[in-house]
Amino acid sequence: MTTITDPPKESFRLSQLIYDTRYRSLTFQAIAALVLALSIWYLGNNLIQNLRAAGLNISFDFLGDTANYDISQRLIEYDSQSSHARAAIVGVLNTLLVAVLACITATIFGVIAGVLRLSNNWLVRKLMAVYVEIFRNIPVLIWIIIIFTIMTAVLPGPRAFRGDDATSSMVLGSFAFTNRGIYIPAPIWGPGSMVVVATFIASIVGVFAYRRYTTNLLYATGRLLPVLWPSIAMLLLPTLLVFVILGKPIGLDFPELKGFNFQGGIKIGGPLIALWFALSIYTGAFIAENVRAGIQAVSKGQTEAASALGLRPGRVMNLVILPQALRVIIPPLISQYLNITKNSSLAIAVGYADITATLGGITLNQTGRAIECVLLLMLFYLTISLLISAFMNVYNSSIKLKER
């Protein structure tokens, strides 16, 4: 005889929080969250208590005060009477400048080295392997210092350019390579120069339009027009023509040795070059590996199929391999760009006035506002990194495999 009993009534007991698998995970998560909140509260409270004990407070008023120090590398007007906020902006722009320059050159180095690492030529392949292994396995700070030291030690000082028996002379009479930086001619924008610039921009638009036209023509009719030479001609000829017709409105301001330094022209400072070059070759080695991995991820059958269709090796790479490889390359490339931006804070080692050197260095030191400055620095790097990520993610989703 069997009696069917009702299942026991669900009554909640406290012990269920630990012994019942349905609730256990929730219990532990709640405990973990509580512990986390308490420790954060403890640390924050500790900070505030200590600040109060030391008679300090958090205030950002110092940003409006006169900075009183000079910065040699600057993209906007700045002098010692400007505010700390402006000094910080000078630093931000310098950080962005070196980050953008280094991202571009690192990509170029990386793509070249990555493709050449797969070369059929034994020597080229091994040379690239040596480049990658040497550069990515030595800390970037060391590279920055090595390059800067070599620059200051090997290149001549401006004094070597002086006098009749000068030991150094300018390259082509217009470029001066000194241990303080490289001086190059600067353009002088005369009247009518904007017309030349406008023509040049129009030419660029024209080149893109032409390329699109040839692609469409190719797809529609199968007729292939030449692209390279017409593009170059379209890019240069109209601009040159306008330049000559308007009577050469753009002149060049050549650097010249005056007093202690070269004056005139554009100066690319030694610290900027050292930092830019070091970040480029260092990160380039990582990007090379990403590119190699990306290319190798495309099945060999793709190459063979494309070759079987009669495509030349260049076209196989450009039309078949790279578009597929990019899907693999882009995500790690994003993190390399982030690395460059963050590593640019090593500028301090060579006296390049980036945001860490101005706001996080001199301003912090002269005002003693360590917490405020570090908070602003963290906020800046976080914002920039997230922005780079966001942009690159948009690009990534535009090239990723479209599944239909």
Partner 1 sequence: MKKSVFFGALTVAGLAAGAAAAGTLDDVKARGKLNCGVTTGLVGFAAPDANGKWEGFDVGVCRAVAAAVLGDATAVEFVPTTGKTRFTALASGEIDMLARNTTWTFSRDVDLKFTFVGVNYYDGQGFMVPKELGVSSAKELDGATVCIQTGTTTELNLADFFRANNISYEPVPIETNAEGQQQYLAGACDTYTTDASGLAATRATFENPGDHVLLPEIISKEPLGPLVRHGDNEWGDVVRWTLNALITAEELGVTSTNIAEMSAAPGSNPEINRLLGTEGNLGEMLGLSADWAKNAIMAGGNYGELFEQNIGESTSIGLARGLNAQWTEGGLIYSPPFR
Footprint of partner 1 on this chain (CB under 8 A)?
Answer: 39-44, 46-51, 53-56, 68-72, 79-81, 149, 152-153, 156-157, 159, 179-180, 258-261, 263, 270, 348-349, 351, 353, 357, 361-362, 364-368, 370-371, 374-375, 378
CA dihedral (340, 341, 343, 348) positive or negative: positive
Least separation in angstroms between CB 366 and partner 1? 7
Closest to partner 1 by CB, 257 vs 285, is 257
Closest to partner 1 by CB, 18 vs 37, is 37
Nearest to 114 by CA among 100, 131, 99: 131
Amino acid at 358: T
Task: Classify strands 176-178 and 181-184 as parallel, antiparallel or unpaired.
Answer: antiparallel
CB atoms within 10 A of CB 390: 11
Least separation in angstroms between CB 93 and partner 1? 17
Nearest to 369 by CA among 101, 155, 85, 120: 85
Least separation in angstroms between CB 356 and partner 1? 11
Least separation in angstroms between CB 139 and partner 1? 18
Q: Residue 161: helix, strand or coil by DSSP?
A: helix
Closest to partner 1 by CB, 35 vs 241, is 35
Closest to partner 1 by CB, 332 vs 351, is 351
Closest to partner 1 by CB, 325 vs 347, is 347
Q: Which residue has the tokens 């990194």?
A: 385
Least separation in angstroms between CB 95 and partner 1? 15
Task: Give DSSP secondary structure letters for 8-54.
Answer: PP----TTHHHH-HHHHHHHHHHHHHHHHHHHHHHHHHHHHHHHHHT
Spatial separation of the C-alpha atoms in residues 191 and 300, rounded to whole Å: 57
Closest to partner 1 by CB, 261 vs 396, is 261
Is residue 119 within 8 Å of residue 102, measured between CB atoms? no
Closest to partner 1 by CB, 29 vs 66, is 66
Strand partners, 171: 175
Task: Give DSSP secondary structure letters for 100-157.
Answer: HHHHHHHHHHHHHHHHHTT-S-HHHHHHHHHHHHHHHTS-HHHHHHHHHHHHHHHSPP
Least separation in angstroms between CB 401 and partner 1? 38
Closest to partner 1 by CB, 51 vs 386, is 51
Spatial separation of the C-alpha atoms in residues 189 and 200, rounded to whole Å: 15
Q: In the chain, what is the straight-line distance between the N-terminal and C-terminal CA atoms, in Å?
A: 63
Closest to partner 1 by CB, 124 vs 370, is 370
Is 120 buried (19+), middle (13-18) or exposed (0-12) by CB count in 10 A? exposed
Task: Classify strands 250-253 and 266-269 as parallel, antiparallel or unpaired.
Answer: unpaired
